[in-house]
Each structure stands twice: as structure tokens, then as C-alpha cells.
Amino acid sequence: MSGSDLPRTPAVLMKGIVKRFPGVTANRGVDFRILKGEIHSLLGENGAGKTTLMNVLSGFYQPDEGEMFVNGQKVSFRSPRDALDHGIGMIHQHFQLVRNFTVAENIILGVPGPWTLNMDNVEKSVDEISNRYGLAIDSRAHIWELSVGEQQRVEILRMLFRKVNILIMDEPTSVLAPQEIESLFETMRKIKNEGRSVVFITHKLEEVLEISDYITVLRRGKVMSTVRPEKVRERDGTVSTELARMMVGREVILEVGKQPMKTNRVLLKVDNVSVMGDRGELAVKGISFTVRKGEIFAILGVAGNGQRELVEAIVCLRQKQGGQILLAEKDISACLDSIAYIPEDRTGLGSVPDMPLMENVALTNRARFSKGPLVNWKAVREKALGLIQEYNIAAPSLEMKARQLSGGNLQKLILAREFTQDPLLLVAEQPTRGLDIGATEEVWQSLLRQREKGAILLVSGDMKEVLSLADNILVMFRGQAMDIISGEDEKGIERIGPLMAGLR
Amino acid sequence: MRVVLKRRLKPLAWPRHFLTPVSVFMALMLGALLFFWVGANPLRAYVEIFKGAFGSFYNFSEVLVRGTPLILCGLSVGLAGKMLIWNIGAEGQLVMGGICGAGVALFLSSHIPTFMMIPTMLVAGFLGGALWGFIPGFLRAKLQVNEIITSLMLNYVAIFWLEHLYFGPWRDPAGRGFPGTAMFPEVAWFPRFFGTRVHLGLLVGLGAALVVWFVLAYTRWGFEIKVVGANLRAAQYARIDILRNILWVMVISGGLAGLAGICETAGIHYRLQQGLASGNGYVGIIVAWLGKLRPASIVVISILLGALMVGGDQVQITMHVPSAISLALEGAILFFVLGGQIFQDYELRIQSEAG
């Protein structure tokens, strides 16, 4: 059902877009249109083809089939620059900024112009644009000095500086605290009121209702529906199950049925730990907490507030500056065999994409499957086949490369592998990031099962995940523990949002 | 209109067995132009090369002789390459292996029981090369010094040592100015087989290939090397001691090239002499990458390149064309084979200009 109220020429019209990649077809004949002056949400589970579609529109990819029209004119983009020339710009999930450059230098980067450069003028016009759209930022600051939210503002400024008419944002809210999201939405509305359009890629249903004029739901590379938000809002303002069903094609239940925690002995004791970040700044400033056996302890915060550094210190991949980390009353560096770590970066850290699944199963388990200097590949094979069955991993053979698995299946494989180590402490970092709802549920269930056997340290930026799973929640902001809140404490939970933004 | 390379959805399966022969054929066609240019009949030249390499039992035995150091050098470069370490220093490691082995042969033969002589020389050769691999390995592991530069530069250091020794303290007093040491005592000569120059070194090379294959396929250490090469950060995550592995890989890699050095010295020359550093270490780089870092392929490629060299010498004699043409052919083959890989993953498309 598409809107019937359009006498206007759409700003962008995409017809029958097909885009194939080795092993997958990301878009299977997608029709999509963007009107002038609208915020159009592109909703779908991970892997639904949202980002691919927008990469096609912004010239990063060339479609295998299909046509595109900008203001009624047929176009074909060979590069992002072509798209920018037609007023289409995209902000990726991973920002494309030069860390050692200033804000203004990043904004002028790649802008065609005379061969002389007057940075004063650039800075002046950057300041002007940032005032107009409420994007507070110091144009002389270096990128590495900025928080993730500020870096996002630089990306937006860069697009506005280029005078784009279609601004595409790929999951912009996933890195932001609630307050920052509000101000991002404010900026989006200002852009819209000038008659420009914003494409908002997300898989968060609530945000979609709040901001969009139109919602297009993609599923498995096809458009399921394009609707007005009113049509999918319940009377009480919540999202209708209709929308979720469009996304996943079935009823989604996000209740995980967690048993209350029993009081057990303390397994992990983190005492006044400080850790340096990559740039030599103090990223973790004297954090203390304890995790008991049978507990899921969550560290919640907006990305970049020291969680990664803290986790790396706990799993001994980074040196700590001060404090003590004890596992079962021994220094943690002596108990590496009792820790399993599920890293956020599944393909960069948690697996070797170009190696077969079997070797990926052996990756952290190789000592367990070795006799002397030899690896017992037969035992690895049996174990791997067992895991694939037990964890419902869609993998046709053990010889296939890890990179051929979808994100969800790879994550289940890593999870399964780490569980086989029978760890006292399992550290799970953003374990469901980018997974679809089905895979997320399976991962959560696996974590809850593991909880019976040891302690789990869950690091997440996803409030829903934390509230569904955690017994206790530590909110981290700028390297400090704002507070530790019990998962049962209703009043405490309301404070989490402000705490994440640094307000006590 | 423009021609674009488009990544295939799936790498083509059929060219796997087809691309390499076609690439080699293309290289030979380029070589044909070269022969034409120097006034030789290309077809006859290739026939001569083939006959020179495979025409008789003796000729083929010479192919194996030429292939022997290539196998060891190829394994040396290939093992390091598995870990994405660039050992450009096989040449120098080969020379150091030759020097250390020769030292044993020249000065310790009267102190070592006869049956232990050759094993001791092999060990000394391995250690000499290992030392020369250890230096860049250590600098890379501890100080992040680029091993390409250090291993390359150590080649010259090793060659200067070699020259210093045979022009200076180790010079054969009875040699009347010949740049080389005295002949080794006969107990230090590697046995030769079937009345040809094929010597113990070939077995050493084949044995080393077997060991390297086994280590990579079945040992924990070999697995760790492959993980480091395939994803450095995953290796850190899996708590693989990367620095220690770099060090060990460079030591073993150097040792393999060192074996090539002692095998050439004690199998062919019977003395340390000019001509030990004849580029086998560099050809080893070509061998390793043409063989895609796989030990079995490295053996095959070594023998094929050996055949090209022997055949090249043959055309020089029979047709009076420079034998350097075989070097040019070698280069062309490398270029075409590696370049040809692209057609497995990409397709050529001609696109008309779209508005």
C-alpha cells in the first residue's frame, strides 16, 4: 500500500533495484521513493538490505538491475561523488572521518574548489551551518577529541555543507544516548522543514513512530510495505505488532522468562580498576564491582565511555593502570583458562573469516583439542558438528569459510565455541548487535542457560537487552561507574537513561 | 564505452585447473617474441629448452640439481609467508648456512666421527641460516622493525662475510688466486646418486617439504601460524603469542634457507666459493608465491623452474641465444600466472556509457 496523496514528483524514485553479492542477493527488485521534505524511515532486520539499498542510492554500489530517477531524471551513479553532485549524501554507521584532522578540515575534504584553501572562511561557514541546525561543535577541534555523538554531528555538517537534498543516515541512533537522540531528531526536523529529505535507516520501532512521515519495511531484500506511522500505532502510542510482524514475518516475543538470581559466592571482583585508552587518556577511572556465580552483570553505556577498555583489561588483552581484578580470589591473569570472551567484533576479533568453520571452532579451543604439539582435528570435527546441531547453526558444511556465514549464525558459532570451554566467567560484548530478532532470542536463551554454570559479564548499549537479561546493571559514563542498579528495581531503571547521559 | 572488472558472485571453479596452463602459455608466447627478437626460431627454442630439461636422464638429473636449493628457499619464504612475514633474506640465510656448514667441514672434520660428519654439517647449516633469520625476526618482534628491509639488507652482509672468508682467512693457500676455500675432506662430501650430480640435498629438500606440510596441517603451532597470517587480531584474541611465533617462524625459515646453502656447498661445490650467492634465495620468493605457499606445490614449481633454467642453458649452447632469456621467461610466467588469478574472481565486462 503506497501513499495515494502524491501529485508531486518524488525527489528520488528507485525502481526494481537488484543488487547481488557473492553468496547473497541483498536487494531483490526494490521499489522505493522519497518525497521532498519528508523523513522516510527504512526499517528492517539486519540483513534485510536497507544499507545496501541506500549504498546503491548514494553511489557506493552500482545496482545489477533497476533504474533510479532524481527529480524525474534518470540517473546512474558511478561513485559517491556522482550521487553528491545530484544532492544525495549518506552517513555510514562507521564514520568516515580523518581522526587527525580538525572538524573544518574534514568538512572541506574532497569538496571540489580552487586549489587555494582559506580555512578561516571554511570554519566560518561551518560555524554558521552548525548554528542554524543546532549542531553544537567547535570547528577547530580535532576529530579524536570528539565523542561519537559529536563525530556524528560532523558527518551531518559535512553533508549540509555539501548542500545535499537527500540525507541518508544509517542507524544514526545506535551510538547515541537518549538525550542525544532527541537532539538528532530535532536536527532532522529542521532539515525536513527546509524541504529537504532524510532517509533514516533503523531497526528500532519506537524511534520510527516518533520521527517518520513514511515507513518502508524491508524484509529479505524486498519491500514488505510502505505505510504512514499512524497506521501502525496503537491507541496507547506503542508500536503495533503489525509492524514487527512485517519485519520478521512472524510474531515476536521478547519475553525471555528469566529466573530470579540465587545468592551465591562472589566470582569476579573488580576493585578500583583504571585503564588507559588507545590515545593514552584514562578511559576507565577507578571502577569497582563484584559479580556472583549465577549472575548476569551488565555494563551499560553509550559506546565509547570506557566499556571496551574495561572489558579488555578484564580479559587481559589490555594492561590496567591500577586496581585489582580477581576471579575466584586469584588474580585474573592466572585464570585465563576460566574466562571466555565473546567480542563485539565478530569478524575482526572473534573469528578468522577466511578459515573454515572447523578451524574457527578450534581457535580458542586449540589447547583442549591437542595432544602434545598435535591438534586432534577429528575431535574438533566431531565437536563442531555437535555444536552446529545443538545451537541450530545454519551451516551446510564445516569446510565453508566463516565469512560465508550470516552474522547471526557466526555469532551463534562463537557463542557455542566459548560455552564449550565451561568458563567460570563469560564476558559477552554486544552479543546481539546487528542480529535479527530470531537470532537475538536464541543468543539470549543461550546466555541464560550459561548463567546457571558461572557468571556472565554482559556489556551492551542496548537497554532492552540489559533489562531482559541482567540481574545488576552498572551504568558507565566517561570511564566512571555512575551507579549500580538492580534489575528488579523499577525506580532505579527509570534513572538509567539520565545516568547514561552523565546526569546523576 | 569502458571495460570494467566486476567481482564474481562466486569464484569460478573450472579455471582452477585451466588458468595456470593458459597463463604459462601466454608467458611462453611473450617469450616467443623475445626469441624472435634475438633472431631465433621460437618453436625450435622451446623444443630445445624442453629437450635440454627432459631430453635425457642426465639432463633431467640436472633439473633436479637446480631445483634442490629452490625447494628449500621456496619453503623458507613460504613458511614465513603463511604468517604474512616477508622473508626477503633467504639469499643471505642460504649464504650463512653455507658458511657455517663449510666451517664444520674445513676445521672440525678431524674431531667428528665420520658418520656424524654430514649430520653435523646439516645442523650447522641450519643454525647459520636460523641465526640470519633470527636477527630480522627479533627486530620485528621486539622493535617493530620492518622485516622486509632488514632481511633484505642482511643478504649483503652475508655476502660480504662470504667474500671476506674466501678471499681472506679461509682462502685456499694452494688455490693460486681462485676465489674459494680449500676443497672439503671427502667425508664432508654429500653422497651423489646414480652417477649424476643429484645429491643428498634433494632428499633434504623433499623431507623438509614433508615436515613443513605436516607442521602446517597437523600441529598446534602450524595452526597458530595460519591464524596469525589470516587475522592478526583474532590471533591476539585467541591468546596466540604472536611475537614468539614471529621469532620462531623467522628462525625456522632462515634455517630452511641455510640448509639450501650447505646442500649447495657440500653437494655441488665441495668448497665455499664464489657463486654460492647466485640468486636462489630470490627465486625462492617466486617459487613460494607461484606455489601459493603450499609445500607440495613449492616442490613442483621448484622443479619446473629448474627445468627452465637447465633448458635455458641448453639453448644458449645450441642456438647461441643469451641464457638470460630463461630469466625473462621466469619473470613472464610469474607475471602471467599471478595476474591470471584475477580472472577467477573477476569478470571482464564491457559497459556502454550510461547517462
Highest mean pLDDT among A138-147, B51-60, B251-260: B251-260
Are A132 and A176 in a shared domain? no
ipTM score assigned to the predicted complex: 0.82
> Which chain A residue is nearest to residue B225, measuring alpha carbons?
A363
pLDDT for res A249:
59
pLDDT for res A23:
57
Count of domains observed in chain B: 1
Amino acid at B172: D
Asked if A404 has any chain B CB less than 8 Å from its own CB, the reply is: no
Are A367 and A433 in a shared domain? yes
Q: Is the pLDDT of residue B355 over 60?
A: no
pLDDT for res A252:
46
Identify the domain boundary among A230, A252, A274: A252
> Which chain A residue is nearest to residue B228, measuring alpha carbons?
A352
Q: Is A182 helix (H, G, I), strand (E, B) or coil?
A: helix
Asked if B51 has any chain A CB less than 8 Å from its own CB, the reply is: no
B2-31 residues touching A, CB cutoff 8 A: 7-10
Residue from B9, B12, B213, B231 to probe the interface with A (highest A Cβ count within 10 Å)? B231
CB-nearest to B223 from A76, A348, A366 is A366
Distance from CA of A103 to the nearest CA of B (A): 30
Q: Is residue A119 part of a domain?
A: yes
Q: Is residue A272 part of a domain?
A: yes
Q: Is the pLDDT of residue B255 over 90?
A: yes
**Among B246, B255, B242, B256, which residue's Cα sits nearest to residue B138?**
B246
Are A38 and A69 in a shared domain? yes
Contacts of B141 (CB under 8 A, 6+ apart): B243, B244, B246, B247
Are A277 and A151 in a shared domain? no
Q: Is residue A56 part of a domain?
A: yes
Amino acid at B244: R
Mean pLDDT taken over chain B: 90
Mean pLDDT, residues B151-165: 96
Q: Residue ranges of chain A with pLDDT lower than 70? A: 1-8, 22-24, 45-47, 236-241, 244-245, 247-261, 279, 303, 434, 501
Contacts of A235 (CB under 8 A, 6+ apart): none
**Beta strand A197-202 pairing with A39-43:** parallel
CB-nearest to A353 from B9, B231, B354 is B231
Asked if B219 has any chain A CB less than 8 Å from its own CB, the reply is: yes
Distance from CA of B227 to the nearest CA of A (A): 7
Q: Is residue B156 part of a domain?
A: yes
Asked if B41 has any chain A CB less than 8 Å from its own CB, the reply is: no
CB-nearest to B223 from A76, A349, A375 is A375
Model pLDDT for residues A375-422, shown as the tens digit of each residue: 999 999 999 999 999 888 888 888 888 887 877 788 889 999 998 888
Distance from CA of B84 to the nearest CA of A (A): 14
B contacts of A370 (beta carbons < 8 Å)? 220
Are A203 and A280 in a shared domain? no
Asked if A334 has any chain B CB less than 8 Å from its own CB, the reply is: no
Interchain pair A343, B237: CB under 8 A: yes
Mean pLDDT, residues B278-307: 93
Asked if A350 has any chain B CB less than 8 Å from its own CB, the reply is: yes
Are A432 and A369 in a shared domain? yes
Q: Is residue A93 part of a domain?
A: no
Asked if B220 has any chain A CB less than 8 Å from its own CB, the reply is: yes
Q: Is residue B55 part of a domain?
A: no
pLDDT for res A297:
95
Q: Which residues pair with B262 in a beta bridge?
A: none
Distance from CA of B123 to the nearest CA of A (A): 22
Q: Is residue A92 part of a domain?
A: no
Q: Is residue B342 part of a domain?
A: no
CB-nearest to A374 from B219, B224, B230 is B219
pLDDT for res A241:
64
Whole-prediction pTM: 0.75
A contacts of B223 (beta carbons < 8 Å)? 359, 362, 366, 375
B124-183 residues touching A, CB cutoff 8 A: none
Q: Is A230 helix (H, G, I), strand (E, B) or coil?
A: helix
pLDDT for res A256:
58
Q: Cα(A52)–Cα(A61) distance, rounded to whole angstroms?
A: 8
**Among A211, A252, A251, which residue's Cα sits nearest to residue A229?**
A211
Per-position b or e across B275-285, b if 16+ CB within 10 A of its CB? ebbeebbbbbb
Are A112 and A131 in a shared domain? yes
pLDDT for res A236:
67
Distance from CA of B297 to the nearest CA of A (A): 20
CB-nearest to A352 from B9, B218, B234 is B234
A contacts of B226 (beta carbons < 8 Å)? 355, 359
Q: Is residue B178 part of a domain?
A: yes
Count of domains observed in chain A: 3
Are A108 and A247 in a shared domain? no
CA distances to A353, B16, B24, B302 from B337, rounded to whole Å, are 26, 11, 7, 15
Residue from B7, B83, B220 to probe the interface with A (highest A Cβ count within 10 Å)? B220
In three-state form (DSSP H/G/I as H, E/B as E, the rest C), the secondary structure along A318-334 is CCEEEEEEEECCEEHHH
Asked if A362 has any chain B CB less than 8 Å from its own CB, the reply is: yes
Q: Which residues pair with A371 in a beta bridge?
A: A374
Distance from CA of A455 to the nearest CA of B (A): 20
Mean pLDDT, residues B331-336: 87
Q: Is residue B142 part of a domain?
A: yes
Domain of A205? 1-87+165-184+194-252
The enclosing H or E element of A292 equals strand A282-292
Domain of B230? 72-297
Asked if A18 has any chain B CB less than 8 Å from its own CB, the reply is: no
Mean pLDDT, residues B306-332: 86
pLDDT for res A89:
94
Q: Cα(B35)–Cα(A211) distance, rounded to whole angstroms?
A: 73
Interchain pair B219, A362: CB under 8 A: no
Tell me, what DSSP letter sits at residue A365? T
Q: Is residue A387 part of a domain?
A: yes
**Among A326, A343, A264, which residue's Cα sits nearest to residue A289?**
A326
Question: Residue written as cell 546512474?
Answer: A76
Are A8 and A125 in a shared domain? no
Model pLDDT for residues A104-150, shown as the tens digit of each residue: 999 998 888 877 888 898 899 999 998 888 888 888 889 888 888 88
State the cell numbers at A451. 548463567
Are A70 and A107 in a shared domain? no
Q: Is residue A261 part of a domain?
A: no
pLDDT for res A253:
42
A373-392 residues touching B, CB cutoff 8 A: 373-375, 377
Asked if A1 has any chain B CB less than 8 Å from its own CB, the reply is: no
Interchain pair B234, A349: CB under 8 A: yes
Question: Residue B149: pLDDT band by 50, 70, 90 thresholds?
Answer: very high
Question: Residue B130: pLDDT band by 50, 70, 90 thresholds?
Answer: very high
Asked if A355 has any chain B CB less than 8 Å from its own CB, the reply is: yes
Sign of CA dihedral A15, A16, A20, A23: positive
Q: Is residue B32 part of a domain?
A: no
Q: Is the pLDDT of residue B91 over 60?
A: yes
Are A354 and A488 in a shared domain? yes
> Rounded to 5 degrees, what are φ and ψ at B127?
-65, -40
CATH code of the domain in which A18 resides? 3.40.50.300
Question: Residue B354: pLDDT band by 50, 70, 90 thresholds?
Answer: very low
Are A34 and A170 in a shared domain? yes
Q: Is residue A378 part of a domain?
A: yes
Q: Is residue B307 part of a domain?
A: no
Asked if A341 has any chain B CB less than 8 Å from its own CB, the reply is: yes
Q: Is residue B313 part of a domain?
A: no
